[in-house]
Amino acid sequence: MMSAGLDSTSVAAVAAAELAGQGRRLAAYHAAPRAGFTGPVRPGWIADESGHVRMLAAQYGNIDLWVHRPAGRSPLDCMDGLFGAVGGPIRNPNNLAWLEAIYARAGADGVRALLVGHKGNMTISYTGLRSLRDLARRGHWAHVLREIRAFARQNGRDPAQVLKNEILIPLFPRLLYRAWSWLRGNRAGPPVWEATHSAILPAFAAEMRVDERLRTANQAAVGMENAGGDEYRRATLTAAADGPDFNQGYRSRFGVETRDPTCDLRVIDFCLSIPPSQYLRNGQSRWLIRRSMRGRVDPGILDRATRGAQAADWVEWLPPMRGGLRADLDRLERSALARRCLDLARLRGLLDAWPERLGLEHYTEYNLMLLRGMELGRFILWFEGDGAEGGP
């Protein structure tokens, strides 16, 4: 499963070279928006990485690349099948349509193991930037300031702003940081369900002590905003997530096992044991993977300054879902369980106030909170036997 990022292209390059020595070929699968898509993406991000992926396929003669483009299915069409396989919703349902398309195609191709690079950001392609906080705490300020200046120069940023945001503010003791935030008018930070764009009903969240329980368990690196590199990487690598449940459910559904070489325990052990200067050097972030893969991955991928946006075409496929979402909401309002758990009034308000044209300013409310809330609602309907496919 290959994007044009450093992790999955590195995995693909190593696998292709290994298979070439055995006279075998590598099937590669990539998801892209429709050809010619020009919808909005954040600065520094690109919507269609298929050109970069084709660079790698051209570099190796034994990569058979399949590019999926939208085929009319939406995340709403995939949800009941997801629940039957996984037993629950997943965090980002906006990726469901292209994920299912790739697994279905891989299974039809006879693929039994699909390699991914999901955890690479914390191992092989770690930026090294957070580790400057650890060095600052140990008093290595000359090195920190030198790297900050070089990093800012490489990325066209103001060194003073990088120093403030990446080093000084995170180094504040947490009580001092909270006091500083309070003086600036931030009397209390947002509850965790707001910060994670959840549609949970606030009264139900309070009843279930969601904020307290989540922060205590440190799930999904909650509270790690100001952590240094070592603490953040370990928290992220060990945080509970829905990935394993999804992978196991889809293994039985499509006959394809998902494997991530970037979080092999031997890789984790190696990557956590080497000094941070291997990841950030002279302002060059992700230095380890860039030099390790030099000659193995096309420079157009290794040296690119942009990042790929997942499901970047959401502004196109989400509006046609409005009628189906409204029908689901009508059924949810008749469910006592849904009324107890979900902020149905907020979801109804979003559907009623649907903008004439979706843009980046609507991303968190519509592509994240609305979809996540309606996915959980669809799960409740499925669980209660009122789903679109007749329940479990």
Q: What is the pLDDT of residue 228?
A: 84
Determine the average pLDDT of the residues in 385-391: 56
Determine the average pLDDT of the residues in 168-188: 67
| Residue 241, helix vs strand vs coil | coil
Q: Are residues 118 and 246 both part of a single domain?
A: yes
Query: Whole-angstrom Cα distance, residue 267 to residue 119?
Result: 11
- Domain-ending residue, one of 308, 331, 351: 308
* pTM summary value: 0.90
pLDDT in tens, 92-117: 999 999 999 999 999 999 999 999 99
Has residue 190 been placed in a domain?
Answer: no
Q: Are residues 22 and 86 both part of a single domain?
A: yes
Has residue 53 been placed in a domain?
Answer: yes
What CATH code is carried by the domain that includes residue 271? 3.40.50.620
Q: Are residues 379 and 334 both part of a single domain?
A: yes
Q: Are residues 74 and 15 both part of a single domain?
A: yes
Has residue 363 been placed in a domain?
Answer: yes
Query: Whole-angstrom Cα distance, residue 202 to residue 341?
Result: 9
Q: Are residues 56 and 114 both part of a single domain?
A: yes
Has residue 11 been placed in a domain?
Answer: yes
Has residue 376 been placed in a domain?
Answer: yes
Q: Are residues 275 and 363 both part of a single domain?
A: no
Q: What is the pLDDT of residue 155?
A: 87
Number of domains the chain contains: 2
Q: Are residues 302 and 327 both part of a single domain?
A: no
Percentages helix, strand, coil for the chain (3-state, rounded to 5) are 60, 5, 35
Q: Are residues 12 and 114 both part of a single domain?
A: yes
Has residue 118 been placed in a domain?
Answer: yes
The structure tokens 């942009």 sit at: 306
Q: What is the pLDDT of residue 117?
A: 94
Query: Whole-angstrom Cα distance, residue 180 to residue 226?
Result: 14
Determine the average pLDDT of the residues in 268-296: 95
Has residue 159 been placed in a domain?
Answer: no
Q: How confident is the model at residue 175 (pLDDT cuts 50, 70, 90)?
A: low
Query: Whole-angstrom Cα distance, residue 266 to residue 279?
Result: 18
Q: Are residues 61 and 112 both part of a single domain?
A: yes
Q: Are residues 284 and 325 both part of a single domain?
A: no
Has residue 283 been placed in a domain?
Answer: yes
pLDDT in tens, 322-348: 999 999 999 999 999 999 999 999 999
Q: How confident is the model at residue 195 (pLDDT cuts 50, 70, 90)?
A: confident
Cβ neighbors of 345 (< 8 A, separation 6 or more) are none
Phi then psi for 34, rounded to 5 degrees? -60, 150
Q: Are residues 296 and 357 both part of a single domain?
A: no
Region class of 56: left (phi > 0), else alpha (psi between -120 and 50), else beta: alpha
Q: Taking the mean position of all CA atoms in its chain, how far away is CA 222?
A: 15
Q: What are the E-state strand segments in 147-280?
A: 257-259
The structure tokens 């992220």 sit at: 236
Q: What is the pLDDT of residue 317?
A: 95
Tell me if 166 sits within 8 A of 133, measured CB to CB.
yes
pLDDT in tens, 213-269: 877 765 544 556 678 888 889 888 887 677 888 999 999 999 999 999 999 999 999
- Domain-ending residue, one of 308, 330, 355: 308
Tell me if 10 sits within 8 A of 117, measured CB to CB.
yes
Q: Indicate the length of the chain as a whole number.
A: 392
Pick from 17-21, 36-40, 317-321: least confident: 36-40
Query: Whole-angstrom Cα distance, residue 123 to residue 232?
Result: 12
pLDDT of 388 > 80? The answer is no
Q: What is the pLDDT of residue 391?
A: 43
Query: What is the CA angle 73-78-84, rounded to 5?
Result: 160
Q: Which domain holds residue 363?
A: 318-383
- Domain-ending residue, one of 267, 286, 308: 308
Q: Are residues 248 and 119 both part of a single domain?
A: yes
| Residue 130, helix vs strand vs coil | coil
Query: Whole-angstrom Cα distance, residue 249 to residue 243?
Result: 10
Phi then psi for 184, rounded to 5 degrees? -80, 0
Tell me if 332 sits within 8 A of 380, measured CB to CB.
yes
pLDDT in tens, 36-82: 898 999 988 999 999 999 999 999 999 999 999 998 999 999 999 99
Q: How confident is the model at residue 390 (pLDDT cuts 50, 70, 90)?
A: very low
Cβ neighbors of 305 (< 8 A, separation 6 or more) are 44, 155
